[in-house]
Amino acid sequence: MEHLLVRPLRKLQKSGLDALPHVILIDGLDMCQGEDRQTELLSAIHKHLLADDSPFRILITSRPELAIRTALEEGGVLHGVASQIHLNDEYDATDDMRRFLLTRFRSLSKRAGGPDWFTKNHVETLVQAGSGQFIYVATVSRYISEPRALPTERLKAVLDKSPPQGQTAPPFELLDKLYVDILSTAKTAYEAIYTNSTTGRGFLLLLKLHHFNHSSLQMANSRFTKYLFLEAKFTDILFSDLHSLVSMKESDSSKIYLRTFHRSFFDFLNEESRAKTFFVPLADVYSHLVKCCLRHILQSPKSDVPLEEVAHNLPRFLSSGYAKVDDDLIHFTREGGWEKIDSVAPQYKSNYSRLLKKLGPLTEGLKDATDVVQTMSGFFEKWKREYRDAMGMSAI
C-alpha cells in the first residue's frame, strides 16, 4: 500500500489533488477471507491512509465480524478515528429498496411486453417482504431478470411466496424461500441431464463441494474440476440456472473462481435449519474429496492431477474426522495405493504424521481388515521418520 498508493499520491499532492475524488470506498470488507487478512488490511488503512497529511476519507461497508468489531472497540486501531453507522438499527432501507426495484423493473419492460407488466403494489409487496434486507430485493431482481425465463412468470412466482400486504415475515424467511425456489428450478434442470444416480455428480453435493472450495481450498475452477473428475465445461452446466446467486469470476492471473453475490446464500447452505432438504453435511464433502484423491493416486501416472499434489492434500481430508470411507481405504490399500504415495519426496508426505494421532478413529471401521490398518500405520510411521530426517529434525 505504501509503494503502490501512498507514495504516488504524495507526489501528486504537490501538483494539486483537487481534480481527484477524495473518498476511497471499500465495500464488503467481511468478504475478505480470514480474520487475519481483515485485521491486516484495517491496520494498513490506519497506518497509511489515515495519516495527518492524507487528503482522503475512507468509507468501509461490512458486516460486523470479529476483526472489524475489535478494530473499532477501545484499544483497536480504528478506535477514536472512525465513526460507525449501524444500518440494521438506525437506517431504514425501504426507500432505497423501492427505488431499486422500480428502476430494475422498468428496464425489463421491453422483454416483458410493455411498461404495465408490474404494478406499484407488486413492488410494495416485495419491499415489505424484504423486511429491511436489501439482499432480498437484489436477489429477487437478479432472479426475475435472468434471460432464460419471462420476467412476468418469475415475478408471479416470487409474489406467490410473499406474505399478504400489511404483514411481514421474519428476517431471511422470505429470502430462504427464494433460495429454495431458485435451487429447486436449477436442480430439476440439472437432473434432466445428470441424475442423482450418476456417481459423484449429484447437484447438491457438487454445489456444496464448490462452496467448500470457495471458502477453504480456493483452487482455480479448472484445477478443482479435475480433482472431481469433471469435464472442463461442467461448471457451466452446474451453475447455468444459478446466475442470480453465484457467478464464475476471472482473477488477475486469468484463473476462474466461484463468486457469490452475497454471503447470505452460503450461510443458508451451511445451516440445516434453513436449507432443510438442500442441506449437505460436511461428512459428504470430505468423503467425496477423499474418494477422489484415492482414485487419482491409483490412476497415477495417468491421472490429470500430479501424484505429489494429491498425496500432499489427502491427509487434510482424512484427518477432518468427517470422511466415511472404510471400503475405499480397504480397496486403496490392497491395490497398492500407499506404495504409490511412498514413491514421492518426503516434503509431500509431511502431513501424514497427523494421521498417526487419529489412527484409532480413522480405522475404527476396519477392525476386520487388520492388514489394512497395519499397512497404513507402517507407512505413516515411515513417512514421519523420513520427513524428520529430510528436515534435520530430532525425534520427539
pLDDT confidence of 320, banded at 50, 70, 90?
A: confident
Whole-number pLDDT of residue 87: 65
Task: Give the mean pLDDT of 269-278.
Answer: 92
Q: In Å, what is the CA distance from 182 to each residue of 126, 176, 205, 240, 295?
A: 16, 10, 16, 11, 33
CB atoms within 10 A of CB 132: 16
For residue 176, pLDDT over 60 is answered with yes
Task: Give the mean pLDDT of 311-338.
Answer: 92
Q: What is the pLDDT of residues 93-109, one digit of tens each?
A: 889 999 999 999 999 99
Task: Give the mean pLDDT of 342-353.
Answer: 92
For residues 194 and 280, the model is more confident at: 280
pLDDT confidence of 287, banded at 50, 70, 90?
A: very high
For residue 169, pLDDT over 60 is answered with no
Find the length of the chain. 396
Q: Is 145 in contact with 104 (CB distance < 8 Å)?
A: yes
For residue 307, pLDDT over 60 is answered with yes
Query: How much of the chain exceeds pLDDT 70, in percent?
Result: 88
pLDDT confidence of 168, banded at 50, 70, 90?
A: low
Whole-number pLDDT of residue 18: 57
3-state secondary structure string across the chain: CHHHHHHHHHHHHHHCCCCCCCEEEEECHHHCCCHHHHHHHHHHHHHHHCCCCCCCEEEEECCCCHHHHHHHCCCCCCCCCCCCCCHHHHCCCHHHHHHHHHHHHHHCHHHHCCHHHCCHHHHHHHHHHCCCCHHHHHHHHHHHHCCCCCHHHHHHHHHHCCCCCCCCCCCCHHHHHHHHHHHHHHHHHHHCCCCCCCCCCCHHHHHHHHHHHHHHHCCCHHHHHHHCCCCCCHHHHHCCCCCCCEEEEECCCCCEEEEECCCHHHHHHHCHHHHHHHCCCHHHHHHHHHHHHHHHHHHCCCCCCCHHHHHHHHHHHHCCCCCCCHHHHHHHHHCCHHHHHHCCCHHHHHHHHHHHHCHHHHCHHHCCCHHHHHHHHHHHHHHHHHHHHHHCCCCC
For the ranges 25-29, 218-222, 250-254, the lowest mean pLDDT is seen at 250-254
Q: Mean pLDDT for the chain?
A: 85
CB atoms within 10 A of CB 303: 16
Q: What is the pLDDT of residues 55-88, one digit of tens each?
A: 778 899 887 777 888 888 888 888 888 888 776 5
Query: How much of the chain exceeds pLDDT 90, in percent?
Result: 38
For residue 17, pLDDT over 80 is answered with no
pLDDT confidence of 396, banded at 50, 70, 90?
A: very low
Whole-number pLDDT of residue 330: 96
Whole-angstrom distance, CA of residue 168 vs CA of residue 306: 54
Q: What is the pLDDT of residues 101-137, one digit of tens each?
A: 999 999 999 999 999 999 999 999 988 877 677 888 9
For residue 369, pLDDT over 50 is answered with yes
